[in-house]
Structure formats: structure tokens, C-alpha cells
Structure 1
Amino acid sequence: MNSAAEDFDRWIRNDFVALNTRLEEAYFAAGTQILHGRPELETVKRRIGREGAELVLRAAEGGSTPSPRPTPSVRPILSTPLLPSMPTGDDERYELLGLVGFYLAACRRHEIDGPQSAAWPLAQLLASSLGVAPRFVFAHQALYNRAVGDTFRTFTSLADERAFILYNGLSVLAYQRTATALRRIAALGVSSPLTAYLLREARSGLDDVLDLGRTLGKTLDVDRFFLNIRPYFKPHRVGGTQYRGVNAGDFAAINSIDVLLGLCSPYDPFYQALLTEKYPYTPPEDQALLRATATAEPLLDAFLRETAAGPLTPQLRDNTELFLTVCRLHGAASAFHHHRLVVPFLQEPAARVPQDQEPEAADLTTSGPPLHVVMGTLARLVDLRTARRRPGADGGARTALDQLRHALDAAPDTHLKPAPTST
């Protein structure tokens, strides 16, 4: 970063955090999502808007971005030459976009109008050069968030916000570990002894996802999340376009797992729409992984083909059972997230929003659609990942999984014998 961007970063890590925290404590004490008309709080809001705008303008002075990299979902804004004062590396520019995005999200959260428009040109230029949405996304909180003095960037100093970022970020890393293991299986074949190692690695990663989800559910306070964390994730406008809010699932690994296991298909219109919608909200390297899902052969198909080809060898039997365990764990992690995190931390508190706060009630989700539409979409995704049959709906991978389980049950028990221990 140049010196102006470093000043912006210091402000985000210090004064910005203190100002947001002061507002959040006042909102929480009043038991509401936002307060208007209190002079001391309006002063704080104006300070966020003014100071952030000044720092953004300094960071943008004399600089531009490289020629844009077009994507199907993000139209290039400008095509201008790179100037010396602007970061040249993708990671540096993505990090700077996150800083600008933090500021824009805070302005949206506190309903600060006017000053934030000064940040729109820089956000659009950075995003256009990277092929991403011009706002902060979850990757800016979890994976592109350098810690300084043991502390990563947050909106507030609230312990619940730190816990939310920490445990969700660790879950992303665990999902990435799982996806990396599964991607390597195609080159080895599903009956390879090396595949057993990779499937155990995938199982371990998903065990971690479940454990981290349980810890988050026990650690995070429902009211703190709903009143003081979730509002920073709202959709907001950049220039003339409204961009949807932050989703902790905006990374490629979970979709790679869906498709590689064979639980979801990129050719299913429902699932294809999900991939297309999330594409600009993922980091540039994740976009390449999302594109790769269209050509990946599901491991479920490979296991069905090989188990049908002849007698089950001990290695193929063990690998098949490991594969089925990985599928079960992926579904269990998805179901836990939906029923133990999304429902109690979003759907249930949303139902308690007073009727006289209808404007707030209409702005409950980060995705834009009404809450019942979002919940229906998430429930359908859980059904796909758990291979659950729904009345009047496609059973997804359930028939194929049952066929694979039947092949195991019908074959003689040929498990590998444990290796002898040395004496």
C-alpha cells in the first residue's frame, strides 16, 4: 500500500472501530437496530462519513487501476493505464477494496448519506480491475485480513464480532482443506490406497467444520449478532447499482465439495443460478475454481462405475465407505448450519421485530429478497447436500447413494486387514 492507503488502514483499525462500537453500544442498550435524532450519536455518524471520505480521496489521488478484467457478472467501469501510486498486485488491490468496502458498509449500516459517494469511483475502479463486486465481501473479513498485533480488521471491538469472523474463517479453511483433498482424487482413481488418505483428510476437514459450527453457536449471542453484526452485511448501492450483502458462504470450496461429491450438479438450473449469483462476490482465485466445477466429474459417478465393474476389492470397499461418510458429514454440516445457526440467529429474531419497525423488517436479509424467499432457497440447498427426498421434488443424489450403499451391502465383506504393529 502507498502511504495514503496505510493511513486509511490505520483509521479502519482504530478510530473507525471505536466510533462504530460507540454507536453499537447505544443501539444495543436501546434494544434496536439503529437510533436517529440523538445529537451525540449523529455527531459520531457524521464523523465516520467525513473522515472516511477524506481518507478514501487521499488513497485515490493520482492513481487508477489496471485495465479491467471482464467477467460475465461484472461490467468493466473504465479502462485506464496503471499509475505509480496505485497498488499493482491483485492482493494489494483486493485488500484496498476491502478497506473501501468496510467504510461503505458502515455508512450503509448507520444510514449515513452523502459522504460515501466519494468512495464509489475508487471502489468501482478496483473492482473492475479485479473482476469482482465493488464492495467488501466475507473474504475481506476472513481470508484477506492481515492481523497487526494479533488483531485483524473488524467493524467494532465487540467480542461477538471477533468470534463470528474467527469461527467462520476457520470453517472456510476447513472447507478448503476438504475441497483440495477431493480435487486430487480424480488423478488417482477411486480405488487407490492414496485416495483413502485423501478421503480421510476430507473427513477430518468436515469434522472440523461441524465442531467449529457448534463452538460458534455456543459462543455467539443471538441479540448481539442480530442487532450489531448482521446490519453491516446489508446490501448497498455503489454508484447506480445495488449490490447484495455479505454471505459467509461466498467462497468456492463448499461448491467444489458439492459438485465433486455428486450431491449438487452445476447443470441443475437452481444450483447454476446460485453459482452465477455468487461469482462476483468471491475472490479472483475462487472464481477460477467456481468455473472449474462445470467440468469436474462427480466422485459418486466414479464410485458407481467401478463398483459395478466387478467384485469389490478390499481397498475399493474401504474407499467407498469413506466416501459415503464424507457425503454424510457434508450434509450434516450444512444441516447444522441451517437449523442451529441461520434459523436461531436470523429467522427467529426477525420474527420478533416489532410491527412498527416495518422498514427494518423489510431489510432483514443480506441477499435482497424477502426473508421467507431466502430461507426457502437455503432449505432447498440443505436438501441437496443431505440428499433428502422432498415431496414433489427431485431427490437429488439419494437414488445414486442408495445404489452405492446397496452395492456394498450385497458384496462379501472384504475389508482391508489392519497393518501389523511392530514389536
Structure 2
Amino acid sequence: MSAVTDFTRWLSTDFLDANTGLEEAYFALGAEIANNDDLDQRKRVLRADGAALVTRIDGMPGDPYDLLGAVGLYLAACRRHEVNVPEAAQAVAGRLGLALGVAPRFVFAHLSTHNPAARTFTHLPDEHTFITCNGLAVLAYQRAAAALRRIPSVTKSLVAALYDEAHTALAAVLAANQALARTLDPDRFFRNIRPYFKPHPVCGTEYRGANAGDFAAVNEIDLALGLCEVTDPFYQRILAEKYPYLPPEDQPRLRTPPSNLRSLVERDPDHVEKYHAVRRAHGAAYAFHHHRLVMPFLARPAESAPQDGLTASGPPLEVVLATLSRLVDLRTARDRGLRK
């Protein structure tokens, strides 16, 4: 049996069981993390067993991006339980990330759109809900971006159908977010899911945590609708920071921004109403995400949590929230004279 097969089998058995048991213990104690002789021993076993398997991996057999995600889940779990990862195990992730041109850690794509093995950290139903609903939103964003991308290259009689397709897809984004808001438990998310998405170092460099928005589609939509501009320093920072965390096939889409449809509509107003309907749908989906998911599931629980080093995926939480609030303003065309 190959080293990769041994490791991935462990991820679907003992790794899942260990994380689930630790999370249930933390939750019963009302803490994000806890330490005692029993829990500390279980954490050490998780670290040692994973390291022994990861360090046997030689080369990049099979799908290297899938393998990076598998190794990244182990690294993220060690960070979550606050145990150090041996350098030899970090080096495997570093080698994979360097070869692919991506951050050497797992990202949300490894749990959703690039996860044929259906890997998770735990057996907890709330984690499955979080991954599924966010994954459905990502797929819908990708459908919307694909439709908008085609508009400049099709005959005029087909443009309306593509706007309708994008609008339907963005309505599906909103529906997925609404389902997540209805079904996800805020305490379970904050205490037992969010901690796996924290930053952690790989080979001496700290990489920010995974983010469910680490796909190119939402930015393609921003730019195609003229809601954001690549010349805006704020938005440039968003794109530059995000780039290493995108799946490899998404990276070229940020290097070559889509055509600005706003300028097309200004020259040919036949589809102006459909264009504005798509913009409203994009803004509505993102505003719901911010006000009904980010705030109640992240910002409010954080108010009663220990504040030392509290973060969402890297920067201090207040910095993350300010950035997300600014994106809400941009995506809803607030105060920019673009609403219609």
C-alpha cells in the first residue's frame, strides 16, 4: 500500500474520530480549546500519527493539488489543537505548494469543489452543513461569472439569456446563504469549525487561514459589473492577497480581468434593466452574507471570546470586518451613484 493511500485512509478514519472527540470535549467544557492530561495525550497522538504518515510521502503521486489539500488538513488540525507540526511534515506541504504556485496549506476549495474524497475535519453535522452550503454558493457564483464572461462575445440576441442565467445563479447564491443562516449553529461554528481555518506557519512563513471566498468568480462578477475597479488600491490589495489561495485554474482569471459590462450597456442600453437586475442580485447576496452570516456567526460571538489574538483568517478581527464592510459598500453600489 502506498504512503499516500495510508495517509488518506488515516484522514478518513482515525483523524476524523480524533478531531470529533476533541471538539466534543471542548464544546462540553464551553471552551474553544482545553488542556488536561487526557486531551493533551490525544493531541500528541494525532500529531505523531499524522507526521509519521506524511513524512513517508515522496514526490507528487496522483493529483498534487488534492494531495496538498490532504496534507493541509493535517497541518490545520495541528494548528487548531495548538500542537506543533514537525518540520519534515511542513516540508511536504511546502514542496507541493511551490510546485503548484499556490499557498502550501489547505484552502476552502479542498473541502468543497476539489474534494472527491469528501474529506472533512470532523463528523460534526454543522461542519458538513457549512461546507455544503458554502460549496453550493461557490458553484452558483461560478455559473454567474461564466454567463457574464460570455456576454461581450455573443450576438446581441443572446445577451438577455446570459443576463438571466447570471441572475438565476446569483439568486441561488442568496438561497444557499439563507439555508446556511437557518441551519448552522452559531456556537458550533465559532467553537468547533472556525478554529480549523486559522493561520499557521509552513516552513517558517505564516499563511493566512482558509476563506470560503477564495475563488475568482466573485471578483470576476465585481469587475464585469463595474462595481469594483482594478485601479482602486483597496481592491488591488484584495486581489493580490487572495491570489495565492486560489485553485490553480482560477489564477489566470484574476490575471486577465473580464470586460466591464457597464461600458457596453452605456453604449447599447437595450439590456440596461437586466444588467441592473444582476447587479442588485449580486449586492443582495453579498449583503445577506455579511449581515446574516458574518455578523451573527463571527462578530457577535467574538464579543464574549478572549480577545488575545482573535482573528478570522489572519489579520485582527476588526480589520477583517472593516474590509468586509467596505466590500459590502462596493458590491451594493452604495454611495457611488450606481444604484438603479
TM bin (shorter chain): over 0.9
**Cα contact 1:104–1:116 (8 A) shared by 2:** no
Amino acid at match of 2:93: A
In the alignment, structure 1 residue 109 sits paired with structure 2 residue 73: no
Letter aligned with residue 175 of structure 1? Y
Taking the aligned partners of 1:120 and 1:127, their CA distance within structure 2 comes to 11
* CA shift for structure 1 position 43: 1.5
Separation of aligned partners in 1, 2:190 and 2:86: 24
2:297 is aligned to 345
Length, aligned pairs only:
340
The CA deviation at 1:202 is: 0.3
Q: What is the CA–CA distance in structure 2 between the aligned matches of 1:121 and 1:232, rounded to whole Å?
A: 20
Structure 1 vs Structure 2 CA RMSD: 1.2
Match of 2:42 among 33, 44, 52: 44
1:358: how far off? 4.0
Contact 1:23 1:41 in 2 (8 A): yes
Q: Deviations over 1:337-394 (max 9, x none)?
A: 00000000000000011xxx343xx23321x2211111111000110000001xxxxx
Q: Matched residues in 2 for 1:39 and 1:379: separation?
A: 43
Counterpart of 2:148 (choices 162, 182, 192) is 182
Q: Does 1:22 align with 2:21?
A: yes
Higher RCO by CA contacts (8 Å cutoff, separation 6 or greater) = 2
Alignment of 1:118 with 2:79, yes or no, is: no
Deviation at 1:14, TM superposition (A): 1.1
Distance in 1, Cα, partners of 2:138 & 2:92: 28
Residue in structure 1 matched with residue 214 of structure 2 by the alignment: 250
Aligned residue among 109, 113, 116 for 1:146: 116
Instruction: Report Cα offsets for 1:59-115 as digits up to 9, x if no partner.
Output: 13xx3xxxxxxxxxxxxxxxxxxxxxx326xxx0000000110000000000012x4
Q: Is the 8 A contact 2:129 2:184 kept in 1?
A: yes
Show the counterpart of 2:264: 302
Pairwise CA distance, 1:120: 1.3
Q: State the distance in 1 between where 2:77 and 2:310 align.
A: 15
Amino acid at match of 1:298: N
Q: Which residue pairs with 2:229 in the alignment?
A: 265
CA contact (8 A) 1:107 1:116 kept: no
Q: CA deviation at 1:7?
A: 1.3
Distance 2:252 2:104 in 1: 19
CA drift of 1:193 comes to 2.0
Q: TM-score, normalised by structure 1?
A: 0.79
Q: Secondary structure at the match of 1:242?
A: strand
Residue identity opposite 1:53 in structure 2: A
Query: 1:206 is paired with a residue of what secondary structure?
Result: helix
Structure 2 counterpart of 1:193 = 157
Separation (CA, whole Å) in 2 of partners of 1:45 and 1:118:
18
Contact conserved, 2:149 with 2:259, CA < 8 A, in 1? no
Residue 280 of structure 1: which of 244, 250, 275 is its match?
244
CA deviations 1:246-289 (Å, max 9, x no partner) are 11000000000000011111111100110000000001110011
Task: Report the TM-score, using the length of structure 2 for normalisation.
Answer: 0.97
Percent of aligned positions with the same letter in both sequences? 56
Q: Which has the larger radius of gyration?
A: 1
Residue correspondence of structure 1 range 184-263 to structure 2 within 5 A: 184-188=150-154, 192-263=156-227
Alignment correspondent of 2:61: 87
CA–CA distance in structure 2, aligned partners of residues 26 and 6 of structure 1? 30
Large movers: runs of 4+ above 3 Å: none
Task: Give CA-to-partner distance per residue, 1:187-208, whole Å, 9 cap, x none.
Answer: 126xx12111111110110010
The 2-side partners of 1:218 and 1:364 are apart by: 24
Provide structure 2 residue ranges, at least 5 long, that are not aligned to the other structure.
none
Q: Residue 51 of structure 2 aligns with which residue?
A: 53
C-alpha displacement of 1:217: 0.4
Residue deviations 1:107-138, cap 9 Å, x none? 0000012x432211111111111000000001
Q: Counterparts of 1:14 and 1:241 in 2: how far apart (Å)? A: 30
CA distance in 2, matches of 1:386, 1:267: 19
SS in 2 for 1:237: strand
Q: Which residue of 2 aligns with 1:364?
A: 311
User: What's the secondary structure of 1:173's corresponding residue?
Assistant: helix
Partner of 2:334: 388
Distance 1:133 1:244 in 2: 9
User: What is the alpha-carbon distance in structure 1 between the residues aligned to residue 208 and residue 221 of structure 2?
Assistant: 24
The 1-side partners of 2:268 and 2:277 are apart by: 18
